[in-house]
A and B are shown apart, each in its own frame.
Chain A
């Protein structure tokens, strides 16, 4: 039982390049989330998926797109990376709509030059 896994762990991009961050969970959770964490800041929600087939914007969605590929996988895509997107990205999941704890992946550290 791996929990929430994220790939890659580290990535360096040049401005304008695109990439997709992958997230998968094996806990049969319905809801999945993408956050970014910047130095001295808490986590800010980028996008979330309440259930398979649905996605919604969070607090900072500009410059990102997401795909809920199936119940297990939720990917985050940067179409044209910008230096302002340099951050640590965390994926999380939780079992359902009712309020309860989220389980986090180990994070992807992204640097955009």
Chain B
């Protein structure tokens, strides 16, 4: 079953604007990760936030985590055309013999030049 659910499913913005994507999940987690997937390519890890953290920054990325609401958001500031991609949140939880990632369905971000 899908653990994370991203919102919105699709987002179209102009270059220079900020993009915010949200993720909700259902069960307890150890950490939450965000990945980017360019069309026809594999996933690339962007950022990881642990369950005891509330906010994390990496370059133009800002991630927040609210474990009481079981939700996370990914903010991309000053977007560029090269940010056009699908973005997935993934919750990391113990699966018996290893930590396993469970992915949401993703948000398709289009940044128009």
Contacts and interface: CB of A to CB of B under 8 A. Distances in A.
Nearest to B31: A99
A29 to B, nearest CB: 12
B38 to A, nearest CB: 11
B42 A42 contact: no
A45 B23 CA distance: 19
A83 interface: no
Interface stretch (B57-65, B67-75, B97-105): B97-105
Nearest to B104: A42
A107 B41 contact: yes
B48 interface: yes
Interface in B32-74: 33, 40-45, 48
Interface magnitude class on chain B = 20 to 34
Given A42-B88, A42-B106, A31 B42 contact: no
Contacts of B43: 43, 90, 92, 102, 104
Interface in A43-61: 43-45, 48, 50, 54, 56, 58-59
A40 B105 contact: yes
B100 A48 contact: yes
Interface in B3-19: 4
B57 to A, nearest CB: 17
Residue of B90, B101, B105 ringed by the most chain A CB atoms within 10 A: B101
Contacts of B42: 4, 90, 104-107
B63 to A, nearest CB: 13
A84 interface: no
A42 B96 contact: no
B99 A42 contact: no
B27 to A, nearest CB: 14
A42 B100 contact: no
Contacts of A62: none
7 contacts: A31-B98, A42-B4, A42-B104, A97-B99, A99-B30, A104-B42, A107-B40
Interface of B: 1-2, 4, 30-31, 33, 40-45, 48, 88, 90, 92, 95-106
